Amino acid sequence: MNGFSADLKQVCGCNWAVVGSSADEVTSKTKVHAKETHHMDEVPAEIAAKLHDAMRPTM
What Rg, from alpha-carbon coordinates, does the chain have?
Answer: 10
The DSSP output letter for 11 is T
5: left (phi over 0), alpha (psi -120 to 50) or beta: beta
Contact flags string 11-50 toward Zn ion, x per CB under 5 A = -x-x----------------------x-------------
Q: How far is the CB of 37 from Zn ion (least distance, A)?
A: 5
Q: Is 51 in the site for Zn ion (CB under 5 A)?
A: no
User: Would you tell me which residues interact with Zn ion (CB under 5 A)?
Assistant: 12, 14, 37
